[in-house]
Amino acid sequence: MPIKASTPSSVLLVCLGNICRSPTAEEIFRQQAAIAGLSMKVDSAGTGDWHIGHAPDERAQRHAKAHGYNINKLVARQVSADDFRDFDLILAMDAQNLADLQSIKNGITNTDKKLAKLALFSEEDPTYGGDDVPDPYTGDGDAFEEVIERIESSAQAWIESWKI
């Protein structure tokens, strides 16, 4: 299947703490891209610094594993200015993450390299288009299940958008 020239070679998935939504999205996106035959670097980060160096939330790990996604070896990190140079596309889990990323991007100066495109993770999704992926951190198991459902849908929508 032909892929559009605009298919990124690298995608960074970003949420607030990088322990629930974005590590789950990293693994789902990685698997779906591989299934579609896309070779791309996929990573995740958080806009906040509270969980740097920590594994994903145990609830996120448990729910992801139940769906065939292993995220237990991922380690939380904070997004940096270098990420805007190192990735082609940065996808934010919600509008606040997107606004925070835009502020970081706006503060990057003296670069001779093209900076990453920013978008909301659900932007291409016909089901959830424009919606935030809700943060399940303070929720129950159903909240984590909803996150997986939304991430699977939106990741698939991005990958479909790159096919001709």
Residue in 15, 43, 57, 132 annotated catalytic: 15
Distance CA 86, CA 89 (A): 9
Q: Which residues of 120-137 are buried (b: 16+ CB within 10 A; e: fewer)?
A: bbbbbbeebeebbbebbb
131 has catalytic annotation: no
21 has catalytic annotation: yes
135 has catalytic annotation: yes
CB 45 within 8 A of CB 19: no
Residue in 83, 100, 132, 135 annotated catalytic: 135
Residue type, 27: E
So which residues are the catalytic ones? 15, 21, 135
